[in-house]
Amino acid sequence: MSRRPAPPSGWPPPDRARLGGEEIALLPLAEKISRRYFERHPEDLERYGDVARDWEVHDTLHLLNWAIGDVEGHVELEEQVAWLAGVLEAREFPLEHLASNLDLSADVTAEAMAPVADRLRAAAALVRGRESFLQ
């Protein structure tokens, strides 16, 4: 990658979602996942600079929302993850890091939201199981 990415733009991620009628605050979860992510992948901070944390939280909020939407029956998480993987692959982002984020997200949500964690783990397996997501 020759230049660092711009800050997140486009469709803003939600900071709350409804699961089983209960409102879930997504931002604290995304921030916790982000901290763990950069403990595992500190090289991304060097590679992407200051916007790395913003993008990590941004994408994680979307992933959590999609996983909850999948459990609730109105979003296909694997379809959304495949789309995101294609975007990231085109930008030469290591897809193993996306799979790692999904694993960490599953770990963080496992106790309180087991069905969401199950969907996130399945999405991580999808990312690891395909050679390419570019169309």
| pLDDT tens digits, 2-54 | 467 888 887 899 999 999 999 999 999 999 999 999 999 999 999 999 899 99
Contact 79/70 with Cβ under 8 angstroms? no
Domain membership of residue 73 (yes or no) is yes
Q: Which residue is listed with tokens 């230049």?
A: 3
pLDDT of residue 3: 64
Nearest to residue 25, comparing CAs of 61, 54, 58? 61
pLDDT of residue 9: 81
Domain membership of residue 13 (yes or no) is no
Q: Which residue range(s) make up the domain with 84?
A: 24-129
Digit-coded pLDDT (tens) for 87-135: 999 999 999 999 999 999 999 999 889 999 999 999 999 999 999 999 7
CATH number of the domain bearing residue 40? 1.10.490
pLDDT of residue 48: 92
Rounded to whole angstroms, what are the CA distances from 114 to 10, 35, 89, 95, 120?
Answer: 30, 21, 29, 24, 10
- Give me the DSSP letters along 112-128: T-HHHHHHHHHHHHHHH
How many distinct structural domains can be found in the chain?
A: 1
Domain membership of residue 1 (yes or no) is no
pLDDT of residue 4: 73
| Residue 56 one-letter amino acid | E
Domain membership of residue 119 (yes or no) is yes
Contact 17/65 with Cβ under 8 angstroms? yes
pLDDT of residue 2: 46
Domain membership of residue 58 (yes or no) is yes
pTM: 0.91
Digit-coded pLDDT (tens) for 65-99: 999 999 999 999 999 999 999 999 999 999 999 99
Residue 1 scores a pLDDT above 60: no
pLDDT of residue 5: 81
Domain membership of residue 7 (yes or no) is no
Domain membership of residue 98 (yes or no) is yes
Kind and range of the H or E run holding 24: strand 22-25
